């Protein structure tokens, strides 16, 4: 039997961590159930690979001409998401290096999205820009069931909270956004609400939803904290910060094409919210997300090792890049 050797590269965007698994490099393609099992195993924060991760980004050949490659997003719990804003920047770097290209498209579940190398956020910080799209406020695209509303804009959801005001938007993965004060941002409400909405049997978002609390620090300067579907609290959520930026801009009266500075527990990104004037685009609104794409290191394993419950992943040797030290310096300088 041919041994399947799998290289796993640990990467992050704003400390939202993933392993890149490139199907195109394997002696045989992994099945979806193998990918799901590997993701759950390596992402485990206690017993996984190199302190685990928030999920796995699977690279594969695109199914049609145009994009350089395809990205699939598998959450730490094995569920599949339609998009990942922090992840796609790292895949942009990965595919760009492989194919020696600086701007190109990546196939995702619902659209081929433009990515490009961007001006570094700081010296030695590899920085990429990604198109976040298609965007929809429709309840049917969000998997939202609340009082038969077709959309949820700036409204209370009484069963969640009698204080907080929510807007729901799919970018295209589903997000529930609430603008809050600093005490609420850092308090337990986010975890309480988001764990209920991701418990698998709530009637409002039966398929779960990413929940973000947003504090406005100054004009065009936000702090976003996210509890993600399929993961829990993460250091950052790229699509969550894009969704929050869009809701902020719309609630401020629609000042498009301005750069927003968005901080998160793991770092910062920049966003620009666009209103569509280009028929090539996938939806009325789209967001440019600019942020780091940091490579931490890589390890080589066999499928046999990954399938063996007695094989201790915590002891696997990782070839480190040294990039994290530079990222820490960048964060400290903010
Ligand atoms: N961290 C990601 C989002 C990953 C998917 C999400 N958990 C979902 O299930 O929709 C990002 O940076 O956007």
Count the Cβ atoms, other than its own, within 10 Å of residue 162. 8
Where exactly are the structural domains of the chain?
Answer: 5-133+294-332, 139-285
pLDDT in tens, 2-33: 789 999 999 999 999 999 999 999 999 999 99
Bridge partners of residue 21, in order along the sequence? 8, 58
pLDDT of residue 136: 96
Residue 282: its pLDDT value, please? 82
1 has pLDDT over 70: no
Active-site option among 70, 71, 84, 125: 84
Q: How far is the CA of 234 from the centre of ligand 1 (A)?
A: 9
Mean pLDDT of 253-280: 92
**Start-to-end Cα distance in the chain:** 52
- Annotated ligand binding at 276? The verdict is no
| pLDDT band (50, 70, 90) for residue 277 | confident
The pLDDT of 189-195, averaged and rounded, is 98
Domain at 139-285: CATH architecture? Roll (3.10)
Measured in whole angstroms, the distance separating CA 141 from the mean position of its chain's CA atoms is 18
Provide mean pLDDT across the span 238-251: 98
Q: What is the ipTM of this complex?
A: 0.99
Rounded distance, CA 196 to CA 188, Å? 13
**Catalytic residue at 64?**
no
Which residues lie below 8 Å from residue 193, measured CB to CB, with a gap of 6+? 160, 161, 164, 211
Beta carbons within 10 angstroms of residue 270's beta carbon: 20
In the set 194, 237, 268, 303, the catalytic residue is 237
Q: What is the pLDDT of residues 112-149, one digit of tens each?
A: 999 999 999 999 999 999 999 999 999 999 999 999 99
Average pLDDT over residues 205-228: 98
Judge whether 84 counts as a catalytic residue.
Answer: yes
Closest to 163 (Cα-Cα) out of 150, 138, 180: 180
Residue 323 labeled ligand binder: no
**H or E segment at 202?**
none
- Across all residues in the chain, what is the average pLDDT? 97
* Centre of ligand 1 from the C-alpha of residue 19, in Å: 14
125 or 254, which is more confident: 125
Instruction: Give yes or no for a contact between 43 and 76, defined as CB atoms under 8 angstroms apart.
Output: yes
Q: Is 51 helix (H, G, I), strand (E, B) or coil?
A: helix
Pick the CATH number of 5-133+294-332 from 3.10.310.10, 3.30.70.260, 3.40.190.10, 3.40.50.300: 3.10.310.10
**5-133+294-332 and 139-285: same fold?**
yes
pLDDT band at 279 (very low <50, low <70, confident <90, very high): low
């Amino acid at each position: 039997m041919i041994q399947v050797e799998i290289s796993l590269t640990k990467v992050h965007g704003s400390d939202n961590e993933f392993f890149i698994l490139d199907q195109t490099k394997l002696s045989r393609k992994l099945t979806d159930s193998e990918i799901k099992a590997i993701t759950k195993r390596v992402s485990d924060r206690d017993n996984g690979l190199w302190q685990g991760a928030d999920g796995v980004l699977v690279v594969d050949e695109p199914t049609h001409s145009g994009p350089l490659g395809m990205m699939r997003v598998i959450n730490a719990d094995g569920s599949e998401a339609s998009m990942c804003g922090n992840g796609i920047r790292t895949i942009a770097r990965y595919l760009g290096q492989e194919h020696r290209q600086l701007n190109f498209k990546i196939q995702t579940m619902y659209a081929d999205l433009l990515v490009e190398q961007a001006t570094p956020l700081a010296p030695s910080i590899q920085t990429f820009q990604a198109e976040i799209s298609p965007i929809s406020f429709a309840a049917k695209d969000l998997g939202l069931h609340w009082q038969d509303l077709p959309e949820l804009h700036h409204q209370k959801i009484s069963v969640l909270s009698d204080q907080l005001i929510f807007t729901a938007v799919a970018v295209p993965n589903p997000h529930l956004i609430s603008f809050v004060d600093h005490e609420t941002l850092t308090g337990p409400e986010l975890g309480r609400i988001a764990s209920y909405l991701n418990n698998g049997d709530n009637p409002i978002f039966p398929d779960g939803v990413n929940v973000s609390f947003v504090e406005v620090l100054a004009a065009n300067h936000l702090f976003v904290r996210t509890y993600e579907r399929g993961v829990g609290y993460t250091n950052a959520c790229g699509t969550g910060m894009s969704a929050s930026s869009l809701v902020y801009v719309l609630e401020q009266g629609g000042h498009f094409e301005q750069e927003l500075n968005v901080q998160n527990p793991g770092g910062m990104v920049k966003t620009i919210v666009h209103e569509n004037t280009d028929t090539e685009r996938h939806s009325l609104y789209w967001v440019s997300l600019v942020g780091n794409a940091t490579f931490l290191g890589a390890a080589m394993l066999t499928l046999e090792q990954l399938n063996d419950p007695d094989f201790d992943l915590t002891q696997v040797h990782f070839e480190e890049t040294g990039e994290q030290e530079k990222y820490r310096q960048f964060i400290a300088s903010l």
